[in-house]
């Protein structure tokens, strides 16, 4: 399965000790495991027809799929904004169910780069990525306006894995203030550093999408969360797999240290047994238990494993 990249003086073992695996709340783990096993047979709030919210970013328009739990129809509730490279689909999904049952609105923006058609999927490739990323900020404006109730604006959390994790970190750095907290999993904080140390075959496959570290270093810097780390003013959490060859533990360490030096609320966890994207039920539950606990804590809301389920 490979191993996460490491560069510089710190070894993989040293970084794993600095950012150790932590067990989530056992009751929350058990509750999420029950929801996952249910498969939408009894627990299917996510099956309700979602709202398709149309947002504008200059001349560009994109949709955000919004799922709202019943108790949040008439009052402002915190929202988790899930970024991914996929195209949001209606219907039951266990991830949306997790958040709805815990009292969060679950929003999925189809920003430029989402796989809603070939042209849209490539709309953030190469030199277009810098401008396309402004959709992250536009999504925040759109959701705050739509989800406000009686003058009460909602807290917004940014969340994503891999490509979506990169978007999450960019939302929290370059567009600091747009989101009130962010949790990035399997993300690359520094694109230039990562691609400079990545295997040649991986660089070749991703050059058109991200840029070449030799001939286009400024492009990679412009689109790297690390470039804007000094702008961060909201809590950020990262989780990486120790067996993930598509991330750099050293880059994450540098990112976290930069925020710690400014006394920002930041955390990193390295999970030794995890690879790039988790698929086994116990891995899914482990990650989401940490994510839910993070947002509940940072937004100051109760998270009882039994509430809402």
User: What's the pLDDT score for residue 133?
Assistant: 98
Domain annotation covers residue 249: yes
Q: Is the pLDDT of residue 202 over 90?
A: no
- Residues with Cβ within 8 Å of residue 36, at least 6 apart in sequence: 94, 281, 284, 285
pTM recorded for the entire structure: 0.97
308 lies in some domain: no
305 assigned to some structural domain: no
Across the chain, what does the average pLDDT equal? 95
> Do β-strands 105-109 and 60-67 pair in parallel, antiparallel, or remain unpaired?
antiparallel
* pLDDT value at residue 165: 98
Residue 5 lies in a domain: no
Whether 169 is in a domain gets the answer: yes
Provide the number of structural domains found in the chain.
1
CATH of the domain at 196: 3.40.50.1820
Domain-located, residue 306: no
Q: What is the pLDDT of residue 308?
A: 57
pLDDT at 286: 98
- What is the token pair recorded at 264? 């920002």
121-165, pLDDT tens digit by residue? 999 999 999 999 999 999 999 999 999 988 899 999 999 999 999
pLDDT higher than 80, residue 1: no
What is the per-residue pLDDT for 277? 86
Q: What integer is the mean pLDDT of 192-202?
A: 92
State the sign of the Cα–Cα–Cα–Cα dihedral 161, 166, 167, 170: positive
pLDDT in tens, 77-130: 999 999 999 999 999 999 999 999 999 999 999 999 999 999 999 999 999 999
Residue-number span of the structural domain to which 203 is assigned: 12-298
Return the pLDDT at 87: 98
pLDDT at residue 45 above 60? yes
Identify the pLDDT of residue 20: 98
Q: Is the pLDDT of residue 309 over 80?
A: no
Q: Quick one: average pLDDT of 221-243? A: 98
Residue 6 falls inside a structural domain: no
Q: Is the pLDDT of residue 221 over 90?
A: yes
Q: Is residue 1 part of a domain?
A: no
Residue % of the chain over a pLDDT of 70: 98
The DSSP result for 63-125, as a single string, is EEEEE--GGGSSS---EEEEE-SSPP--S--HHHHHHHHTT-EEEEE--TTSSSSHHHHTTTS
pLDDT band at residue 305 under the 50/70/90 scheme: low
């Amino acid at each position: 399965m490979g191993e996460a990249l490491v560069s510089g003086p710190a070894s993989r073992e040293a970084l794993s000790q600095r950012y150790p695996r932590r067990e989530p709340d056992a009751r929350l783990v058990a509750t999420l495991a029950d929801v996952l096993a249910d498969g939408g047979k009894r627990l299917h709030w996510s099956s309700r027809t979602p709202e398709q919210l149309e947002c504008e970013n200059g001349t560009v328009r994109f949709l955000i799929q919004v799922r709202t739990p019943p108790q949040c129809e008439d009052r402002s509730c915190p929202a988790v904004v899930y970024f991914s490279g996929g195209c949001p689909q209606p219907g039951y999904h266990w991830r949306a169910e997790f958040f709805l049952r815990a009292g969060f609105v679950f929003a999925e923006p189809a920003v430029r780069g989402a796989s809603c058609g070939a042209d849209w999927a490539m709309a953030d490739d190469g030199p277009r990525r810098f401008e396309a990323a402004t959709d992250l900020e536009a999504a925040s404006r759109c959701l705050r306006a739509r989800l406000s109730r009686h003058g009460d604006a909602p807290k917004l959390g940014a969340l994503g894995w891999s490509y979506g994790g990169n978007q999450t970190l960019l939302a929290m750095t370059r567009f600091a203030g747009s989101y009130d907290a962010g949790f990035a999993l399997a993300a690359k904080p520094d694109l230039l550093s990562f691609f400079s140390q990545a295997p040649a075959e991986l660089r070749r496959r991703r050059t058109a999408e991200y840029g070449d570290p030799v001939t286009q270093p400024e492009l990679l810097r412009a689109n790297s969360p690390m470039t804007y780390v000094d702008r961060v003013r909201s809590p950020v959490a990262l989780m990486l797999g120790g067996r993930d060859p598509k991330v750099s533990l050293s880059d994450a360490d540098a990112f976290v240290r930069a925020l710690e030096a400014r006394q920002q609320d930041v955390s990193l966890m390295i999970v030794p047994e995890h690879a790039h994207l988790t698929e086994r039920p116990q891995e899914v539950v482990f990650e989401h238990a940490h994510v839910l606990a993070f947002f509940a804590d940072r937004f100051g809301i109760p998270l009882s494993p039994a509430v809402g389920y």
